[in-house]
A and B are shown apart, each in its own frame.
Chain A
Amino acid sequence: FMLTQPLSVSESPGKTVTISCTRSSGSIASNYVQWYQRRPGSAPITVIYEDSQKPSGVPDRFSGSIDSSSNSASLTISGLKTEDEADYYCQSYDSSSVVFGGGTKLTVL
C-alpha cells in the first residue's frame, strides 16, 4: 500500500494547519499511524504515535486523528510557530512492511 501526503502546505504564524495522509489500500484503522517531524540535518522525531498519542515534550498544539470514511490520517498543528517549519512524514505498516508517506514541507510565513 501507499501513503499519500500533500507535497507542501503553508500558513501564517498563529494559524492552524492540517496535513493529510491517505492510505491507498487496506483500512487506515487497521494499523496505527505515526507522524514524524524532520528538520534539515537532524534525525526525525515523533510528534504523534498510535494515531493520536503525543510523546512527552511535544506541545499540545500538535494533534492526530484518523478518518475511516476517507481512509486517511491527519496531523493538525494549531497556534503555528516559526519553529514548526519542517518536513512531516506519516508512517504506517502492514503484516510485512513499513511504509512512509512522501513527506509534506510545512512553511510558516
Chain B
Amino acid sequence: QVQLVQSGAEVKKPGASVKVSCKASGYTFTSYYIHWVRQAPGQGLEWLGIINPSGGNTTYAQKFQGRVTMTSETSTSTVYMELSSLRSEDTAVYYCAREHESYHFDYWGQGTLVTVSS
C-alpha cells in the first residue's frame, strides 16, 4: 500500500533552518511528483512547491522562492523540504503529498509540526 512517512516534530529558533523528510513506499518512487503543503494554526492550506523525484526538477511558490529547497534521494525513496530564515509565521504542520494526475493529491504524509519560537 502507498505510504508517505514524514520525519518527526521540530522546534527551531527564528533565523534557523528546518529540513523535513518524506519517505515513500508502496509504489514506483520516480513515477509521481511530490508536493509540499503547510497549514499554520487557524489558517488554511498553503502550497509550497513541487519536486519531480525523477531528475529533481522543482517549482516553488513565489512566496517561498529563495527560502525553500526541495530535493530527492532515489536510493532511499525520500524527498526533503528545507525552509530557511525561519520566522514565527512559519509555525505550521507541513505535509508532503503525492500527485496522481492533474494536481490531484491522492496520498498525504501524516504531517510534521514545525514550531518556530525563541
Question: Could you say which residues of chain A place their CB within 8 Å of the CB of B45?
Answer: 36, 38, 44, 89, 91, 100, 103
B106 touches A43 (CB 8 A): no
- Contact of A32 with B106 at beta-carbon distance under 8 Å, contacts A100-B44, A100-B47 already known: no
Query: Which residue among B37, B44, B108, B110 has the maximum number of chain A CB atoms within 10 Å of its CB?
Result: B44
Q: How large is the interface on B (under 10, 10 to 19, 20 to 34, 35 or more residues)?
A: 20 to 34
Assuming A43-B95, A43-B109, A43-B110, is B44 touching A50 (CB within 8 A)?
no
Do the beta carbons of A32 and B109 come within 8 Å of each other? no
Those of B37-53 within 8 Å (CB) of chain A: 37, 44-47, 50
What's the nearest-Cβ distance from chain A to residue B21, in Å? Answer: 16
- CB-based nearest A residue for B50: A98
Enumerate chain A residues within 8 angstroms of B44, measured Cβ to Cβ.
89, 100-103
Q: How far is the CB of A89 from chain B (nearest CB, A)?
A: 5
Interface pairs A-B: 10 shortest CB-CB = A43-B108, A98-B47, A49-B104, A100-B45, A103-B44, A93-B103, A32-B102, A102-B44, A34-B104, A89-B45
Show the binding face of A for B, using Cβ within 8 Å. 31-32, 34, 36, 38, 43-46, 49-50, 55, 89, 91-93, 96-103
